[in-house]
Chain A
Amino acid sequence: MTLLRPGDLVVLAAGLLLVSGLAVFSWGGSHGDSAVIRVAGQVVDTPTLARARMISVEGPLGMTQIEIQPGRARIARDPSPRQLCVKRGWLSQAGDAALCLPNQVSLEIRGRSAAYDTLGY
């Protein structure tokens, strides 16, 4: 009687395949190539993530500044009291989003293949 039988190796290999498949599925989301900026639900700009620039949009509370760098984007400044969207940090994966609800501004990353068909907030 051996400790490891042929089928065990098959099961272990299948398990390893499953784990790596899950890792790719969960972590290997496609990188975004453009951002969608909305104010009060209306799209105001869809900048490409190819080059760095700063974008300012006006919401009910004041000005929200969005910083674009190659491959990523973030909310740099926002008048929201709790600063949740600023703390969200840099976004780079397609489907990532930062929402500044008090100022009604949202920043969403778009990729060639979207991770979700639609997101309801």
Chain B
Amino acid sequence: MTRSVIELPVSAADRRIAGLAAVAIGLTLAEAAIPSPVPGVKPGLANIVILLVMLQYGWKTAAWVAALRVLAGSLLLGSFLSPGFWLSAAGALSSLAVLAAGQYLPRRWFGAVSLSVLAAFGHIAGQLVLAWLWLLPTAALLNLLPVFAAAALLFGAINGFIVARLLAADASPKGQSSPCIPL
């Protein structure tokens, strides 16, 4: 009798992605506790992690972290496969698409703030398109468009500043560059 053992080799990259995703999930959970006047308007703190990950480990790792964040975050919040989950997934997907293009912007001119703002607009655009097509095909959503866009601009800028600060604080001591999320 032979015993078959399925081995799933775990690489260092896998561990890193899992750890980074855990940080993003933690921020997602913390953020769910913050009340919001308009449903859908959130600071998007997990996007700080996503952007940091992209700038330090590349887009692919960031995409993994974002996908795990959406999936595990929804499982923990109990919203898996609910409309909120799909909206979150659509937002994450479209902001990743924006970042995929945005990563090729010249770094000399465009810093973390640019990427964060662009990703935030991508996020809200993806969510609104899905909400519009699927949930609320009415003009009421159209009236809230400026509110969502303003929130994306504000929180995108703030998150971008935070990312830029973290990167700067990380790069300054002795010019040595180590990941700001110690994983």
Q: Assess whether B149 is in contact with A19, with CB atoms less than 8 Å apart.
A: yes
Most chain B beta-carbon contacts within 10 A, residue among A3, A11, A12, A16: A11
User: What 0/1 readout, one digit per residue, does chain B (140-176) give for beta carbons within 8 Å of chain A?
Assistant: 0011111001101100110011001101100100000
B117 at the A interface (CB under 8 A): yes
Give bound CA distance, A22 to B144, whole Å. 10
Q: Assess whether A5 is in contact with B111, with CB atoms less than 8 Å apart.
A: yes
B110 at the A interface (CB under 8 A): yes
Q: Assess whether B111 is in contact with A23, with CB atoms less than 8 Å apart.
A: no
With A8-B111, A18-B149 given, is the CB distance from A1 to B143 under 8 Å? no
A42 at the B interface (CB under 8 A): no
Nearest to A22 among chain B residues (CB) is B146
How far is the CB of B112 from the nearest CB of chain A, in Å? 8
Q: Assess whether B113 is in contact with A8, with CB atoms less than 8 Å apart.
A: yes
Q: Assess whether B108 is in contact with A15, with CB atoms less than 8 Å apart.
A: no
Number of A-B contacts (CB under 8 A): 71
Q: Assess whether B145 is in contact with A22, with CB atoms less than 8 Å apart.
A: yes
A81 at the B interface (CB under 8 A): no
Nearest to A11 among chain B residues (CB) is B114
Chain B binding surface, main DSSP class: helix
- List the B side residues contacting A7 at CB < 8 Å: 105-106, 109-111, 114
Chain A binding surface, main DSSP class: helix
- List the A side residues contacting B105 at CB < 8 Å: 7
B118 at the A interface (CB under 8 A): yes
**Contact partner, A5, options B108, B145, B153, B156, Cβ 8 Å:** B108
Q: Assess whether A12 is in contact with B113, with CB atoms less than 8 Å apart.
A: yes
User: What 0/1 readout, one digit per residue, does chain A (73-117) give for beta carbons within 8 Å of chain B?
Assistant: 000000000000000000000000000000000000000000000
- List the A side residues contacting B157 at CB < 8 Å: 12, 15
How far is the CB of B121 from the nearest CB of chain A, in Å? 7
**Contact partner, B143, options A15, A19, A26, Cβ 8 Å:** A26
How far is the CB of B26 from the nearest CB of chain A, in Å? 25
Q: Assess whether A8 is in contact with B160, with CB atoms less than 8 Å apart.
A: yes
Give bound CA distance, A26 to B145, whole Å. 7
Q: Assess whether B168 is in contact with A19, with CB atoms less than 8 Å apart.
A: no
Q: Assess whether B146 is in contact with A3, with CB atoms less than 8 Å apart.
A: no
Interface residues of B (CB under 8 A from A): 105-106, 108-111, 113-114, 117-118, 121, 142-146, 149-150, 152-153, 156-157, 160-161, 164-165, 167-168, 171
What are 22 A-B pairs at a CB distance below 8 A?
A1-B167, A1-B168, A3-B113, A3-B161, A3-B164, A3-B168, A4-B161, A4-B164, A5-B109, A7-B110, A8-B113, A11-B113, A11-B118, A12-B117, A15-B152, A15-B157, A23-B150, A25-B145, A26-B144, A26-B145, A26-B146, A27-B143
